[in-house]
Amino acid sequence: MSTIKIWLDPITRIEGHLAAYIEIDSSTKHVTSAYTSAMMFRGFEVFLRGRPPEDAIAITSRSCGVCGAAHANASVVANDVASGYTPTPLGVALRNMAYAMTDYIYDHSIILNMLGGPDYSELIVSKLTPSVWQEAQSTPTQYSNIHGYKTIADIMTDLNPVTGRIWRLTVEYQRIAREAGVLLYGRHSHPSTLVPGGISTDLSLAGSIFEQYYTRLTALTAWVKFVWAIWQDLHDFYVSIGYELNGKTHDPPSMFAAGWADDPEVYGSFAPTSSPAQWKTLWEHLDEIYQARLEKPGYAMGTNLVTKSVVEMNQGWLEFVDTSFYYDWYKHNVLPPWGYWIKEDPLGNPIAFGNDELMPYHPWNKTTMPKPQAINFTEKYSWDAEPRLMLKDGTIAPIETNPITQLWIDTLYATKVSLGNYDIWESNGSQLTFTLPAAQPTSTAPEICPVPGGCPDLYGELTITWKMPQYSTTIERVLARAVHLALVANIAWANLEYALAQWAAGHTHASSPWQHGSYPSFSYSIGWWHVPRGTNQHWLVQSSDKILNYQYQAPTTKNVSPRNNRCTGPYASQCTGPFEMSALNSWVTEEVPPDQWTGLDIVRAIRSFDPCLACAVHAEVKGEGGRIYKTIEKVIYNACSL
Q: Is 15 annotated as a binding residue?
A: no
Q: Is 190 annotated as a binding residue?
A: no
Q: Is 67 annotated as a binding residue?
A: yes
Cα angle value 185/191/197 (rounded, 5°): 80
* 388 touches 566 (CB < 8 A): yes
State the amino acid at position 512 in one-letter form.
S
Q: Measured between alpha carbons, how far is 81 from 540 in angstroms, rounded to an integer?
A: 9
Q: Measured between alpha carbons, how far is 196 from 396 in angstroms, rounded to an integer?
A: 34
275 CB burial (10 A radius; 0-12, 13-18, 19+): middle
The SS3 call for residue 375 is: coil
Distances (CA, A) of 69 to 66, 471, 482: 8, 30, 20
> Cis (ω within 30 of 0) for the bond into 387?
no
The terminus-to-terminus CA distance of the chain in angstroms comes to 46
- Rg (the chain; Cα; Å): 24
Helix 165-185 crosses helix 206-240 at what angle (to 10 degrees)?
A: 150
Q: Phi and psi at residue 457, in whole multiples of 5°?
A: -100, 5
Q: Is 484 annotated as a binding residue?
A: no
Task: Kindly provide the b/e burial profile for residues 496-532, where b requires at least 16 CB atoms within 10 angstroms of the residue's own CB.
Answer: bbbbbebbeeeeebbbbebeeebbbeebbbbbbbbbb
Q: Is 575 annotated as a binding residue?
A: no
Q: Is 449 annotated as a binding residue?
A: no
Per the annotation, where are the binding residues for Fe cation?
67, 615
**Residues annotated within a binding site for Ni(2+):** 64, 67, 612
Binding annotation: 45, 64, 67, 612, 615, 618
Instruction: Show binding-site residues for Mg(2+).
Output: 45, 618
